[in-house]
Chain A
Amino acid sequence: MKKILTIFVITVISQVFTLNTYAGSDDTVEIKSKVKEQSTEVKDCFETINRGIFAFNQGLDKIFFKPIAKGYRYLPKPIRSGTSNALSNLTNVVTIPNNILQGQLKEAGLNTLRFSINSTLGIAGIFDVASYYGLNKLEKEDYGQTLGTWGVKEGCYFVLPVLGPTTVRDTIGSIANFGGGDAWYNVTVANDTKYFEDSDYYYSRLTAGVDFRAKNLEAFNSLENNSIDLYASVRSLYLQDRKRKILNSDETTETMNDDDWEEIDTQ
Protein backbone atom coordinates (compact mmCIF):
# COMPACT_ATOMS: atom_id res chain seq x y z
CA MET A 1 0.00 0.00 0.00
CA LYS A 2 2.84 2.35 0.95
CA LYS A 3 4.57 1.55 -2.33
CA ILE A 4 1.45 2.38 -4.34
CA LEU A 5 1.04 5.64 -2.45
CA THR A 6 4.68 6.56 -3.06
CA ILE A 7 4.35 5.87 -6.80
CA PHE A 8 1.15 7.94 -6.91
CA VAL A 9 2.75 10.87 -5.09
CA ILE A 10 5.84 10.79 -7.33
CA THR A 11 3.66 10.65 -10.46
CA VAL A 12 1.55 13.54 -9.28
CA ILE A 13 4.57 15.66 -8.27
CA SER A 14 6.29 15.00 -11.58
CA GLN A 15 3.11 16.16 -13.35
CA VAL A 16 3.19 19.49 -11.51
CA PHE A 17 6.63 20.25 -12.81
CA THR A 18 6.00 19.09 -16.37
CA LEU A 19 2.52 20.43 -16.94
CA ASN A 20 3.56 23.99 -17.57
CA THR A 21 4.80 22.85 -20.95
CA TYR A 22 1.13 22.50 -21.94
CA ALA A 23 0.50 26.20 -21.35
CA GLY A 24 -0.60 27.96 -24.49
CA SER A 25 -2.37 25.06 -26.12
CA ASP A 26 -5.95 25.53 -27.22
CA ASP A 27 -7.82 23.38 -24.75
CA THR A 28 -7.26 25.53 -21.69
CA VAL A 29 -8.88 27.75 -19.14
CA GLU A 30 -7.13 31.06 -18.69
CA ILE A 31 -6.37 32.33 -15.21
CA LYS A 32 -4.38 35.46 -14.55
CA SER A 33 -1.83 35.46 -11.76
CA LYS A 34 -1.72 38.52 -9.53
CA VAL A 35 1.83 37.83 -8.47
CA LYS A 36 3.46 37.75 -11.87
CA GLU A 37 0.74 39.64 -13.73
CA GLN A 38 0.87 37.27 -16.64
CA SER A 39 -1.51 34.69 -17.97
CA THR A 40 -1.21 31.13 -16.84
CA GLU A 41 -3.43 28.37 -18.06
CA VAL A 42 -4.86 25.31 -16.41
CA LYS A 43 -5.11 22.31 -18.66
CA ASP A 44 -8.00 19.91 -18.50
CA CYS A 45 -5.78 16.92 -19.30
CA PHE A 46 -8.28 14.09 -19.50
CA GLU A 47 -11.44 15.98 -20.37
CA THR A 48 -13.32 13.01 -21.85
CA ILE A 49 -12.67 10.87 -18.76
CA ASN A 50 -13.32 13.84 -16.49
CA ARG A 51 -16.69 14.43 -18.12
CA GLY A 52 -17.55 10.77 -17.54
CA ILE A 53 -16.62 10.98 -13.84
CA PHE A 54 -18.50 14.27 -13.57
CA ALA A 55 -21.64 12.59 -14.98
CA PHE A 56 -21.16 9.75 -12.46
CA ASN A 57 -20.86 12.28 -9.61
CA GLN A 58 -23.97 14.07 -10.85
CA GLY A 59 -25.86 10.77 -10.72
CA LEU A 60 -24.56 10.08 -7.23
CA ASP A 61 -25.58 13.55 -6.14
CA LYS A 62 -29.07 13.05 -7.54
CA ILE A 63 -29.73 9.76 -5.77
CA PHE A 64 -27.73 10.31 -2.59
CA PHE A 65 -26.40 13.74 -1.58
CA LYS A 66 -29.24 15.93 -2.83
CA PRO A 67 -32.06 13.99 -1.11
CA ILE A 68 -30.05 13.81 2.14
CA ALA A 69 -29.25 17.53 1.91
CA LYS A 70 -32.95 18.27 1.39
CA GLY A 71 -33.81 16.20 4.45
CA TYR A 72 -31.07 17.93 6.44
CA ARG A 73 -32.76 21.23 5.64
CA TYR A 74 -35.80 20.11 7.64
CA LEU A 75 -33.76 19.96 10.83
CA PRO A 76 -34.31 22.96 13.13
CA LYS A 77 -31.96 25.84 12.38
CA PRO A 78 -30.15 25.68 15.76
CA ILE A 79 -29.19 22.04 15.05
CA ARG A 80 -27.94 22.90 11.57
CA SER A 81 -26.03 25.92 12.84
CA GLY A 82 -24.52 23.93 15.69
CA THR A 83 -23.42 21.16 13.31
CA SER A 84 -22.01 23.66 10.86
CA ASN A 85 -20.16 25.50 13.64
CA ALA A 86 -18.67 22.30 15.08
CA LEU A 87 -17.46 21.17 11.64
CA SER A 88 -16.07 24.61 10.88
CA ASN A 89 -14.27 24.61 14.22
CA LEU A 90 -12.60 21.30 13.31
CA THR A 91 -11.18 22.77 10.12
CA ASN A 92 -9.04 25.09 12.26
CA VAL A 93 -6.64 22.22 12.88
CA VAL A 94 -5.76 22.37 9.18
CA THR A 95 -6.12 26.13 8.80
CA ILE A 96 -3.74 27.04 11.67
CA PRO A 97 -0.65 25.15 10.37
CA ASN A 98 -1.36 26.54 6.90
CA ASN A 99 -1.61 30.09 8.31
CA ILE A 100 1.89 29.55 9.72
CA LEU A 101 3.23 28.01 6.50
CA GLN A 102 1.90 31.03 4.58
CA GLY A 103 3.44 33.45 7.07
CA GLN A 104 0.06 34.62 8.37
CA LEU A 105 1.11 34.64 12.01
CA LYS A 106 -1.61 37.05 13.16
CA GLU A 107 -4.30 34.89 11.55
CA ALA A 108 -2.70 31.77 13.08
CA GLY A 109 -2.95 33.39 16.52
CA LEU A 110 -6.55 34.48 16.01
CA ASN A 111 -7.60 31.05 14.74
CA THR A 112 -5.84 29.34 17.66
CA LEU A 113 -7.71 31.61 20.06
CA ARG A 114 -10.99 30.98 18.26
CA PHE A 115 -10.38 27.23 18.29
CA SER A 116 -9.54 27.22 22.02
CA ILE A 117 -12.56 29.30 23.01
CA ASN A 118 -15.06 27.48 20.79
CA SER A 119 -13.78 24.00 21.68
CA THR A 120 -14.19 24.70 25.41
CA LEU A 121 -16.74 27.46 26.11
CA GLY A 122 -18.48 26.70 22.82
CA ILE A 123 -18.88 23.00 23.72
CA ALA A 124 -16.84 21.25 21.00
CA GLY A 125 -17.43 24.15 18.64
CA ILE A 126 -21.24 23.89 18.60
CA PHE A 127 -21.52 27.52 19.66
CA ASP A 128 -19.41 30.23 18.04
CA VAL A 129 -18.61 32.00 21.31
CA ALA A 130 -15.44 33.52 19.84
CA SER A 131 -17.45 35.62 17.37
CA TYR A 132 -19.49 36.92 20.32
CA TYR A 133 -16.19 38.18 21.80
CA GLY A 134 -15.34 39.94 18.54
CA LEU A 135 -13.03 37.26 17.11
CA ASN A 136 -14.71 36.90 13.76
CA LYS A 137 -14.35 33.84 11.55
CA LEU A 138 -11.47 34.03 9.06
CA GLU A 139 -10.98 32.34 5.69
CA LYS A 140 -10.13 28.64 5.78
CA GLU A 141 -6.71 27.59 4.54
CA ASP A 142 -5.47 24.23 3.28
CA TYR A 143 -2.24 22.69 1.99
CA GLY A 144 -3.26 23.19 -1.64
CA GLN A 145 -3.63 26.91 -0.99
CA THR A 146 -0.26 26.97 0.78
CA LEU A 147 1.41 25.33 -2.21
CA GLY A 148 -0.29 27.96 -4.39
CA THR A 149 1.05 30.84 -2.29
CA TRP A 150 4.50 29.25 -2.57
CA GLY A 151 4.25 29.52 -6.34
CA VAL A 152 3.41 25.89 -7.21
CA LYS A 153 1.26 25.83 -10.36
CA GLU A 154 -2.10 24.07 -10.50
CA GLY A 155 -1.04 21.28 -12.83
CA CYS A 156 -3.82 19.35 -14.53
CA TYR A 157 -7.44 19.95 -13.71
CA PHE A 158 -9.30 16.72 -13.13
CA VAL A 159 -12.41 15.29 -11.50
CA LEU A 160 -12.28 12.65 -8.77
CA PRO A 161 -15.10 10.17 -8.21
CA VAL A 162 -17.29 11.34 -5.30
CA LEU A 163 -14.86 14.11 -4.26
CA GLY A 164 -15.34 16.22 -7.40
CA PRO A 165 -13.15 18.85 -9.08
CA THR A 166 -9.50 19.25 -8.18
CA THR A 167 -6.07 19.93 -9.61
CA VAL A 168 -2.79 18.08 -9.19
CA ARG A 169 -1.63 20.72 -6.71
CA ASP A 170 -4.81 20.49 -4.64
CA THR A 171 -4.62 16.69 -4.62
CA ILE A 172 -1.09 16.86 -3.23
CA GLY A 173 -2.44 19.26 -0.62
CA SER A 174 -5.13 16.76 0.32
CA ILE A 175 -2.58 13.97 0.58
CA ALA A 176 -0.69 16.11 3.12
CA ASN A 177 -3.74 15.85 5.38
CA PHE A 178 -3.32 12.10 5.51
CA GLY A 179 0.42 12.36 6.05
CA GLY A 180 0.11 14.04 9.44
CA GLY A 181 -1.11 17.48 8.36
CA ASP A 182 -4.60 17.11 9.77
CA ALA A 183 -4.69 16.74 13.56
CA TRP A 184 -8.31 15.54 13.43
CA TYR A 185 -7.33 12.70 11.07
CA ASN A 186 -4.34 11.93 13.30
CA VAL A 187 -6.40 11.45 16.46
CA THR A 188 -9.20 9.53 14.77
CA VAL A 189 -7.77 7.36 12.00
CA ALA A 190 -3.98 7.54 11.99
CA ASN A 191 -3.42 6.91 15.70
CA ASP A 192 -5.19 4.51 17.98
CA THR A 193 -6.51 6.81 20.69
CA LYS A 194 -9.11 5.69 23.22
CA TYR A 195 -11.14 8.89 22.74
CA PHE A 196 -12.06 8.66 19.05
CA GLU A 197 -12.97 6.03 16.48
CA ASP A 198 -12.05 5.97 12.78
CA SER A 199 -15.74 6.41 12.04
CA ASP A 200 -15.74 9.81 13.79
CA TYR A 201 -13.52 11.15 11.04
CA TYR A 202 -15.55 9.66 8.19
CA TYR A 203 -18.87 10.78 9.69
CA SER A 204 -17.55 14.30 10.13
CA ARG A 205 -16.39 14.42 6.51
CA LEU A 206 -19.69 13.08 5.26
CA THR A 207 -21.68 15.52 7.38
CA ALA A 208 -19.50 18.40 6.15
CA GLY A 209 -20.38 17.36 2.58
CA VAL A 210 -24.08 17.23 3.34
CA ASP A 211 -23.96 20.56 5.21
CA PHE A 212 -22.22 22.21 2.24
CA ARG A 213 -24.71 20.69 -0.20
CA ALA A 214 -27.68 21.81 1.92
CA LYS A 215 -26.37 25.38 2.03
CA ASN A 216 -26.06 25.43 -1.74
CA LEU A 217 -29.21 23.63 -2.89
CA GLU A 218 -30.69 26.64 -4.70
CA ALA A 219 -27.35 27.77 -6.11
CA PHE A 220 -26.68 24.30 -7.57
CA ASN A 221 -30.20 24.06 -8.98
CA SER A 222 -29.82 27.45 -10.60
CA LEU A 223 -26.47 26.48 -12.08
CA GLU A 224 -27.86 23.22 -13.44
CA ASN A 225 -30.90 24.90 -14.97
CA ASN A 226 -29.01 27.78 -16.55
CA SER A 227 -25.86 26.17 -17.89
CA ILE A 228 -25.51 25.05 -21.44
CA ASP A 229 -22.33 23.16 -20.50
CA LEU A 230 -22.53 22.41 -16.78
CA TYR A 231 -19.17 20.62 -16.71
CA ALA A 232 -17.39 23.72 -18.08
CA SER A 233 -19.25 25.99 -15.63
CA VAL A 234 -18.23 23.91 -12.62
CA ARG A 235 -14.63 23.78 -13.84
CA SER A 236 -14.55 27.55 -14.23
CA LEU A 237 -16.11 28.16 -10.81
CA TYR A 238 -13.73 25.74 -9.10
CA LEU A 239 -10.64 27.34 -10.63
CA GLN A 240 -11.85 30.88 -9.92
CA ASP A 241 -12.61 29.95 -6.32
CA ARG A 242 -9.20 28.37 -5.73
CA LYS A 243 -7.46 31.35 -7.27
CA ARG A 244 -9.35 33.77 -5.04
CA LYS A 245 -8.55 31.72 -1.95
CA ILE A 246 -4.86 31.54 -2.80
CA LEU A 247 -4.68 35.30 -3.31
CA ASN A 248 -6.48 35.75 0.02
CA SER A 249 -8.23 38.69 -1.50
CA ASP A 250 -11.81 39.87 -1.51
CA GLU A 251 -11.06 42.60 -4.01
CA THR A 252 -12.79 41.81 -7.28
CA THR A 253 -10.31 44.00 -9.13
CA GLU A 254 -7.38 41.97 -7.84
CA THR A 255 -8.75 38.61 -8.87
CA MET A 256 -10.20 39.48 -12.26
CA ASN A 257 -8.37 40.06 -15.49
CA ASP A 258 -9.74 43.31 -16.91
CA ASP A 259 -8.05 43.14 -20.31
CA ASP A 260 -10.99 41.66 -22.17
CA TRP A 261 -13.45 44.08 -20.62
CA GLU A 262 -11.30 47.05 -21.64
CA GLU A 263 -11.57 46.03 -25.29
CA ILE A 264 -15.35 46.03 -25.35
CA ASP A 265 -16.87 49.38 -26.13
CA THR A 266 -20.62 49.72 -26.42
CA GLN A 267 -21.12 53.34 -25.40
Chain B
Amino acid sequence: MIKVKIFSFLFLILFSFDKSIAKEPSVLIAEIVNEASIILSSSDPVESKIIKLNNIAETNVDIEGIGMYTLGNYRKSLNEDEKIKYNKLFKSYFLKSFSSRLVDYSDPKISVVSEKKINEKYTIVNTILEETSKNPEIRIDWRIYTKNPNRPLIRDLVVEGLSLARTQKEEFKSIIQNNDGDINYLFRSLEEFIIK
Protein backbone atom coordinates (compact mmCIF):
# COMPACT_ATOMS: atom_id res chain seq x y z
CA MET B 1 0.00 0.00 0.00
CA ILE B 2 2.85 2.34 0.89
CA LYS B 3 4.50 1.49 -2.42
CA VAL B 4 1.31 2.40 -4.26
CA LYS B 5 1.10 5.68 -2.37
CA ILE B 6 4.73 6.52 -3.11
CA PHE B 7 4.23 5.63 -6.77
CA SER B 8 1.07 7.79 -6.96
CA PHE B 9 2.90 10.65 -5.28
CA LEU B 10 5.85 10.40 -7.66
CA PHE B 11 3.49 10.15 -10.65
CA LEU B 12 1.65 13.29 -9.48
CA ILE B 13 4.89 15.19 -9.06
CA LEU B 14 6.15 14.09 -12.45
CA PHE B 15 2.85 14.94 -14.09
CA SER B 16 2.66 18.39 -12.53
CA PHE B 17 6.34 19.00 -13.27
CA ASP B 18 5.79 18.04 -16.90
CA LYS B 19 2.93 20.56 -17.10
CA SER B 20 4.88 23.28 -15.40
CA ILE B 21 7.79 23.17 -17.84
CA ALA B 22 5.67 22.91 -21.00
CA LYS B 23 6.12 26.24 -22.72
CA GLU B 24 3.73 27.94 -25.12
CA PRO B 25 5.54 28.90 -28.36
CA SER B 26 4.46 32.54 -28.07
CA VAL B 27 5.85 32.65 -24.50
CA LEU B 28 9.12 31.21 -25.76
CA ILE B 29 9.40 33.92 -28.43
CA ALA B 30 8.46 36.69 -25.99
CA GLU B 31 11.18 35.47 -23.59
CA ILE B 32 13.84 35.17 -26.29
CA VAL B 33 13.04 38.58 -27.73
CA ASN B 34 13.18 40.13 -24.28
CA GLU B 35 16.49 38.42 -23.50
CA ALA B 36 18.01 39.47 -26.84
CA SER B 37 16.77 43.02 -26.38
CA ILE B 38 18.50 43.28 -22.98
CA ILE B 39 21.74 41.99 -24.48
CA LEU B 40 21.62 44.26 -27.53
CA SER B 41 20.78 47.41 -25.58
CA SER B 42 23.51 46.77 -23.01
CA SER B 43 26.85 48.54 -23.06
CA ASP B 44 28.74 45.23 -23.32
CA PRO B 45 31.44 44.94 -25.97
CA VAL B 46 30.32 43.43 -29.29
CA GLU B 47 32.25 40.18 -28.65
CA SER B 48 30.43 39.66 -25.36
CA LYS B 49 27.06 40.37 -27.01
CA ILE B 50 27.84 37.81 -29.72
CA ILE B 51 28.67 35.12 -27.14
CA LYS B 52 25.42 35.77 -25.25
CA LEU B 53 23.34 35.83 -28.44
CA ASN B 54 24.91 32.57 -29.56
CA ASN B 55 23.99 31.00 -26.22
CA ILE B 56 20.36 31.96 -26.81
CA ALA B 57 20.50 30.44 -30.29
CA GLU B 58 22.11 27.20 -29.13
CA THR B 59 19.41 26.74 -26.50
CA ASN B 60 16.36 27.75 -28.49
CA VAL B 61 17.06 27.11 -32.17
CA ASP B 62 17.01 23.68 -33.80
CA ILE B 63 20.30 24.29 -35.60
CA GLU B 64 20.73 20.65 -36.62
CA GLY B 65 17.17 20.51 -38.01
CA ILE B 66 17.64 23.73 -39.98
CA GLY B 67 20.93 22.38 -41.31
CA MET B 68 19.27 19.23 -42.59
CA TYR B 69 16.37 21.18 -44.12
CA THR B 70 18.79 23.58 -45.77
CA LEU B 71 20.61 20.72 -47.43
CA GLY B 72 17.42 19.65 -49.23
CA ASN B 73 17.61 16.34 -51.07
CA TYR B 74 21.38 16.26 -50.75
CA ARG B 75 21.01 15.26 -47.09
CA LYS B 76 20.00 11.80 -48.27
CA SER B 77 23.26 11.25 -50.10
CA LEU B 78 25.62 12.18 -47.25
CA ASN B 79 27.67 9.45 -45.60
CA GLU B 80 28.22 9.49 -41.83
CA ASP B 81 31.55 11.35 -41.99
CA GLU B 82 30.14 13.98 -44.32
CA LYS B 83 27.11 14.35 -42.07
CA ILE B 84 29.27 14.98 -39.01
CA LYS B 85 31.42 17.44 -40.93
CA TYR B 86 28.39 19.24 -42.33
CA ASN B 87 26.64 19.53 -38.96
CA LYS B 88 29.77 21.01 -37.42
CA LEU B 89 30.33 23.47 -40.27
CA PHE B 90 26.68 24.45 -40.44
CA LYS B 91 26.52 25.17 -36.72
CA SER B 92 29.51 27.53 -36.92
CA TYR B 93 28.12 29.14 -40.07
CA PHE B 94 24.66 29.56 -38.54
CA LEU B 95 25.88 31.09 -35.29
CA LYS B 96 28.17 33.54 -37.07
CA SER B 97 25.44 34.56 -39.49
CA PHE B 98 22.81 34.76 -36.70
CA SER B 99 24.81 36.98 -34.38
CA SER B 100 26.13 39.28 -37.12
CA ARG B 101 22.58 39.86 -38.38
CA LEU B 102 21.31 40.69 -34.89
CA VAL B 103 24.22 42.71 -33.56
CA ASP B 104 23.37 45.55 -35.99
CA TYR B 105 20.20 46.24 -34.04
CA SER B 106 20.73 48.33 -30.92
CA ASP B 107 17.34 47.80 -29.29
CA PRO B 108 14.81 45.96 -31.43
CA LYS B 109 11.22 46.17 -30.19
CA ILE B 110 9.39 43.01 -31.16
CA SER B 111 5.87 42.29 -29.95
CA VAL B 112 4.05 38.97 -30.18
CA VAL B 113 0.75 39.38 -32.03
CA SER B 114 -0.70 35.86 -32.28
CA GLU B 115 0.10 32.19 -32.74
CA LYS B 116 -1.36 29.50 -34.97
CA LYS B 117 -0.91 25.79 -34.45
CA ILE B 118 -0.37 24.04 -37.80
CA ASN B 119 -0.20 20.51 -36.43
CA GLU B 120 1.31 18.62 -33.47
CA LYS B 121 4.80 19.40 -34.71
CA TYR B 122 4.53 23.05 -35.71
CA THR B 123 3.17 26.35 -34.47
CA ILE B 124 3.63 29.70 -36.20
CA VAL B 125 4.10 32.68 -33.89
CA ASN B 126 3.35 36.05 -35.49
CA THR B 127 5.32 39.06 -34.29
CA ILE B 128 5.91 42.66 -35.35
CA LEU B 129 9.25 44.45 -35.33
CA GLU B 130 8.25 48.02 -34.52
CA GLU B 131 8.97 50.91 -36.88
CA THR B 132 12.09 53.00 -36.20
CA SER B 133 13.30 56.28 -37.68
CA LYS B 134 15.31 54.22 -40.18
CA ASN B 135 13.16 51.19 -40.88
CA PRO B 136 9.47 50.59 -41.51
CA GLU B 137 7.43 48.13 -39.40
CA ILE B 138 8.38 44.55 -40.24
CA ARG B 139 6.26 41.42 -39.85
CA ILE B 140 8.19 38.38 -38.60
CA ASP B 141 6.70 34.90 -38.28
CA TRP B 142 8.55 32.21 -36.33
CA ARG B 143 8.18 28.54 -37.19
CA ILE B 144 8.35 26.65 -33.90
CA TYR B 145 8.99 22.91 -33.76
CA THR B 146 6.77 21.58 -30.99
CA LYS B 147 7.15 17.83 -31.24
CA ASN B 148 8.49 17.93 -27.69
CA PRO B 149 6.16 20.51 -26.11
CA ASN B 150 8.51 20.86 -23.15
CA ARG B 151 11.28 22.04 -25.40
CA PRO B 152 9.90 24.04 -28.33
CA LEU B 153 12.60 25.04 -30.81
CA ILE B 154 12.77 27.70 -33.51
CA ARG B 155 13.17 26.31 -37.00
CA ASP B 156 12.58 29.27 -39.30
CA LEU B 157 12.05 33.01 -39.44
CA VAL B 158 9.67 34.29 -42.08
CA VAL B 159 10.29 38.01 -42.61
CA GLU B 160 7.49 39.75 -44.53
CA GLY B 161 6.55 36.40 -46.03
CA LEU B 162 10.13 35.51 -46.98
CA SER B 163 11.55 32.41 -45.34
CA LEU B 164 15.18 32.63 -44.23
CA ALA B 165 15.54 28.84 -44.13
CA ARG B 166 14.14 28.50 -47.64
CA THR B 167 16.44 31.23 -48.95
CA GLN B 168 19.42 29.49 -47.39
CA LYS B 169 18.31 26.15 -48.80
CA GLU B 170 18.15 27.56 -52.34
CA GLU B 171 21.51 29.23 -51.84
CA PHE B 172 23.13 25.92 -50.81
CA LYS B 173 21.40 24.11 -53.66
CA SER B 174 22.76 26.63 -56.15
CA ILE B 175 26.33 26.18 -54.87
CA ILE B 176 26.15 22.39 -55.08
CA GLN B 177 24.46 22.37 -58.51
CA ASN B 178 26.90 24.82 -60.02
CA ASN B 179 29.74 22.54 -58.95
CA ASP B 180 28.51 19.30 -60.52
CA GLY B 181 26.71 18.16 -57.38
CA ASP B 182 29.93 18.04 -55.35
CA ILE B 183 29.09 18.69 -51.68
CA ASN B 184 32.73 19.55 -50.95
CA TYR B 185 32.28 22.92 -52.67
CA LEU B 186 29.56 23.74 -50.15
CA PHE B 187 31.87 22.69 -47.31
CA ARG B 188 34.56 24.97 -48.73
CA SER B 189 32.16 27.91 -49.07
CA LEU B 190 31.04 27.44 -45.47
CA GLU B 191 34.64 27.26 -44.26
CA GLU B 192 35.49 30.46 -46.13
CA PHE B 193 32.48 32.22 -44.58
CA ILE B 194 33.40 31.05 -41.08
CA ILE B 195 37.01 32.30 -41.26
CA LYS B 196 36.04 35.54 -43.06
A-chain residues with CB within 8 Å of residue B158 when the two chains form the complex: 252, 256
Among A26, A225, A255, A266, chain B packs the most CB atoms within 10 A around the CB of: A266
B69 touches A252 (CB 8 A): no
In the complex, whether A102 has a CB less than 8 A from a CB of chain B is no
B170 touches A29 (CB 8 A): yes
B-chain residues with CB within 8 Å of residue A264 when the two chains form the complex: 65, 68-69
- How far is A250 from B9 in the complex, measured between Cα atoms in Å? 48
Residue in A222, A233, A235, A236 whose beta carbon sits within 8 Å of that of B104 in the complex: A222
Question: Which of chain B's residues 110-141 have a Cβ closer than 8 Å to chain A?
Answer: 116, 118, 121-122, 124, 133-136, 139, 141
In the complex, whether B184 has a CB less than 8 A from a CB of chain A is no
| A19 CB, nearest partner CB in chain B, Å | 19
In the complex, whether A66 has a CB less than 8 A from a CB of chain B is no
Interface segment, one of A112-120, A162-170, A237-245 = A237-245
In the complex, whether B91 has a CB less than 8 A from a CB of chain A is no
In the complex, whether B189 has a CB less than 8 A from a CB of chain A is yes
B124 touches A240 (CB 8 A): no
- How far is A102 from B69 in the complex, measured between Cα atoms in Å? 35
B-chain residues with CB within 8 Å of residue A219 when the two chains form the complex: 135
B-chain residues with CB within 8 Å of residue A197 when the two chains form the complex: none
User: What mask results when residues 161 to 181 of chain A are scored 1 for a CB within 8 Å of chain B, else 0?
Assistant: 000000000000000000000
B-chain residues with CB within 8 Å of residue A255 when the two chains form the complex: 161
Question: Which of chain B's residues 147-190 have a Cβ closer than 8 Å to chain A?
Answer: 147-148, 151, 153, 155-156, 158, 160-163, 166-171, 173-175, 177-178, 189-190
| A30 CB, nearest partner CB in chain B, Å | 8
A266 touches B171 (CB 8 A): no
B69 touches A261 (CB 8 A): yes
> Assuming A252-B143, A253-B116, is B97 touching A260 (CB within 8 A)?
no
A240 touches B118 (CB 8 A): no
A-chain residues with CB within 8 Å of residue B136 when the two chains form the complex: 215
| B74 CB, nearest partner CB in chain A, Å | 12
Residues of A in contact, count (CB < 8 Å):
40
User: What mask results when residues 93 to 105 of chain B are scored 1 for a CB within 8 Å of chain A, else 0?
Assistant: 1000100110010
Residues of B in contact, count (CB < 8 Å):
50
In the complex, whether B64 has a CB less than 8 A from a CB of chain A is yes
B122 touches A261 (CB 8 A): yes
B97 touches A226 (CB 8 A): yes
Q: List 6 tightest A-B contacts by C-beta distance, closest first.
A: A232-B174, A236-B170, A244-B161, A266-B65, A267-B148, A267-B147
In the complex, whether B62 has a CB less than 8 A from a CB of chain A is yes
In the complex, whether A265 has a CB less than 8 A from a CB of chain B is yes
- How far is A235 from B173 in the complex, measured between Cα atoms in Å? 12
Question: Which of chain A's residues 18-35 have a Cβ closer than 8 Å to chain B?
Answer: 26-27, 29
B135 touches A215 (CB 8 A): yes
B163 touches A218 (CB 8 A): no
In the complex, whether B193 has a CB less than 8 A from a CB of chain A is yes
In the complex, whether A77 has a CB less than 8 A from a CB of chain B is yes
| B151 CB, nearest partner CB in chain A, Å | 7
B161 touches A260 (CB 8 A): no
- How far is A232 from B169 in the complex, measured between Cα atoms in Å? 10
A261 touches B155 (CB 8 A): yes
> Assuming A240-B166, A253-B116, is B62 touching A266 (CB within 8 A)?
yes
A-chain residues with CB within 8 Å of residue B139 when the two chains form the complex: 250
Question: Which of chain A's residues 187-233 have a Cβ closer than 8 Å to chain B?
Answer: 215, 217-219, 221-222, 225-229, 231-233
| A74 CB, nearest partner CB in chain B, Å | 11
User: What mask results when residues 247 to 260 of chain A are scored 1 for a CB within 8 Å of chain B, else 0?
Assistant: 00011110110101
In the complex, whether A73 has a CB less than 8 A from a CB of chain B is yes
B170 touches A235 (CB 8 A): yes
A-B contact pairs, 14 of them (CB 8 A): A27-B177, A226-B97, A226-B101, A228-B192, A235-B174, A237-B162, A241-B161, A244-B161, A252-B161, A260-B169, A266-B64, A266-B65, A266-B153, A267-B153
A267 touches B151 (CB 8 A): yes
B-chain residues with CB within 8 Å of residue A77 when the two chains form the complex: 133
- Closest A residue to B174 by CB, please name it: A232
- How far is A73 from B189 in the complex, measured between Cα atoms in Å? 34
